[in-house]
Amino acid sequence: MTDMTGTPRRALLVVDVQPTFCEGGALAVTGGDAVARAIAEYAAAHRDRYDLVVTTQDWHVDPGAHFSATPDYVDTWPPHAVAGTAEAELHPALADLRPDVGVRKGEYAAAYSGFEGVDADGRPLADVLREAGVSDVDVVGIAESHCVRATAVDALTLGLRTRVLTDLTVPVTPEQGAAARAAMAAAGAELVDSDLL
């Protein structure tokens, strides 16, 4: 959809920027803290580019086999983003972000994609974006190789024009990051550095 001037309505999707996925967290990704700060700076400088800013959070209550004492780091993981803990909250760097909507996912399931989450009113992310008339999304966050990839691919499946701002995300490993970027590009995502927008 577009607004009355014909300009597409764009949302910034900030995926899982939580202490649990940053240095010192239960499922730390190297570079997570730096990406959190970079996202905060980008959002503060360019809020006028977005009609909607949405955060997603892993918010696990009892996700079943997703948690394991002997994780394989493919389908099972150490406990992380436990609902109600400080690690599951938004990263402190985002304290001034003031998102329009917050979506939480994975209470009782694995839930990699932000589109598996709901807001405080129980609305799925797809409904939140549709009701706001959003046609285009920029995806940033942690980790590029997992939840960012899943969120971007789902956005494309829903017909949203999707950009991934590659300097505002970080993968678990460089190899997994390369695979994720290939998968997102193959699905139709535009991969772009935020400085080039």
List pLDDT tens digits, range 56-81.
999 999 999 999 999 999 999 999 99
User: If you write DSSP's letter for every residue of 57-87 in order, what string do you get?
Assistant: EE-BS--GGGB-SS--SSS-B-S-SBTTSGG
Between CA 184 and CA 182 the distance in angstroms is 6
Q: Which residue has the tokens 């997994």?
A: 176
Cβ-proximal residues to 16 (8 Å cutoff; 6+ apart), any chain: 56, 57, 58, 81, 114, 141, 142, 143, 147, 148
Mean pLDDT computed over every residue of the chain: 96
10-196: CATH class? alpha beta
pTM for this one?
0.96
Spell out the long-range contacts of 25-33 with Cβ–Cβ below 8 A and sequence spacing 24 or more: 25/80, 25/87, 26/78, 26/79, 26/80, 26/81, 26/87, 27/77, 27/78, 27/80, 27/81, 29/142, 29/143, 29/170, 29/171, 29/172, 30/170, 31/170, 32/91, 32/142, 32/143, 32/170, 33/91, 33/93
Q: Which residue has the tokens 């935020």?
A: 194
Give mean pLDDT, residues 83-101. 98
- Give the pLDDT score at 5: 61
Of the pLDDT bands very low, low, confident and very high (cuts 50, 70, 90), residue 164 is: very high
Give mean pLDDT, residues 153-164. 98
DSSP, collapsed to helix, strand or coil, labels residue 26 as coil
The catalytic residue positions are 16, 105, 147
pLDDT at 186 over 80: yes
Between CA 197 and CA 185 the distance in angstroms is 18
Give mean pLDDT, residues 164-181. 97
- Cite the beta strand spans of the chain per DSSP E: 10-15, 52-58, 101-105, 136-142, 161-170, 190-192
